[in-house]
Amino acid sequence: MPGMSVYAGFYKVGTPKKGEYVFVSATSGAVGQLIGQFAKLEGCYVAGSAGSKEKVDLLKNKFGFDEAFNYKEKHDLNAALKRYFPEGIDVYFENVGGKMLDAVLLNMRHHGRIAACGMISQYNLDEPEGTKNLLQILYKWIQIKGYMHRNYYHLYPKFLDLVLPYIREKKMVYVEDIVEALKMVQLPLLDFLVVATLENEWLLLLVNDAIIHCMNVA
């Protein structure tokens, strides 16, 4: 699912071109780290924000980002973005919203595109934060487009054609988080966690016979 979110957001919404300046927020997450790798493979300059030094190191040393910074240490996000994007941002992959979006708007280039994938900083707020710099959309002819991965599943074979050779050739990398302790509860887990399909159109995840998630895969 994160892979398809990235593929749709990159090739159908943000559409960065070779040599363009790309910024990604929540970069160490499942979506952000892939966006950065796609951007590098397409010949873009890419920088990202993450919430710790370890994540910033990972982005630069493992995932090949040109630059990365810890947004929690930057009290002036506008100044931080100016430092990493002196020429401005052509494409912003929006994963967090809020203050970051406000700062990005000030740093977008003319005809810039914002692919709104998510706004994780806003989901749990009682009152969503306001966005002050929307006038930049007008001044700089910026396009903002939201999207959902589920609307692009017809492109899944194309996604695999692109990404599998990259993985085999080690041009795309990933990190694994393996929890050995789960081995001990493997059987009980399998007993109560069931994946089923409904009319070949819906994928259902059931726990103890209750549907906890369903996804349209038609």
Ligand X SMILES: NC(=O)c1ccc[n+]([C@@H]2O[C@H](COP(=O)([O-])OP(=O)(O)OC[C@H]3O[C@@H](n4cnc5c(N)ncnc54)[C@H](OP(=O)(O)O)[C@@H]3O)[C@@H](O)[C@H]2O)c1
Q: Indicate whether 3 belongs to the interface with ligand X (CB under 6 A).
A: no
Q: Is 134 near ligand X (CB under 6 A)? A: no
Q: Measure CA 109 to chain center.
A: 21
37 binds ligand X (CB under 6 A): no
CB of residue 188 vs ligand X: minimum separation in angstroms? Answer: 26
Footprint on residues 83-102 left by ligand X (CB under 6 A): 95-96
Task: Give the footprint of ligand X on residues 8-27 (CB under 6 A).
Answer: 26
Residue of the chain from 14, 36, 48, 118 that contacts ligand X (CB under 6 A) = 118
**HEC assignment per residue over the chain:** CHHHHHHHHHHHHHCCCCCCEEEECCCCCHHHHHHHHHHHHCCCEEEEEECCHHHHHHHHHCCCCCEEEEHHHCCCHHHHHHHHCCCCEEEEEECCCHHHHHHHHHHEEEEEEEEECCCCCCCCCCCCCCCCCCHHHHHCCCEEEECCHHHHHHHHHHHHHHHHHHHHCCCCCCCCCCCHHHHHHHHHHHHHEEEEEECCCEEEEEECCEEEEEEECC
- Of 13-21, 60-68, 115-123, 156-164, the window that binds ligand X (rule: CB under 6 A) is 115-123
Q: Which is nearer to ligand X, 5 or 107 (CB)?
A: 5
> Could you tell me which of 181, 174, 213, 218 has the C-alpha nearest to residue 194?
213
Using the rule CB under 6 A, which residue among 46, 50, 101, 103 binds ligand X?
50
Q: Read off the tokens for 78.
A: 């506008």
Q: Is 117 in the site for ligand X (CB under 6 A)?
A: yes
Q: Does 121 bind ligand X (CB under 6 A)?
A: yes
**One symbol per residue from 144 to 173: x for binding ligand X (CB under 6 A), - otherwise; what is it?**
---xxx------------------------
Residue 146: name the closest of 4, 13, 7 by CA: 13
Which residue lies nearer to ligand X by CB, 28 or 107? 28
Instruction: Verify binding: residue 5, ligand X, rule CB under 6 A.
Output: yes
In the bound complex, what is the minimum distance in angstroms from residue 73's beta carbon to ligand X? 12
Q: Which residues form the interface with ligand X (CB under 6 A)? A: 2, 5, 26, 28-32, 50-51, 55, 95-96, 117-121, 147-149
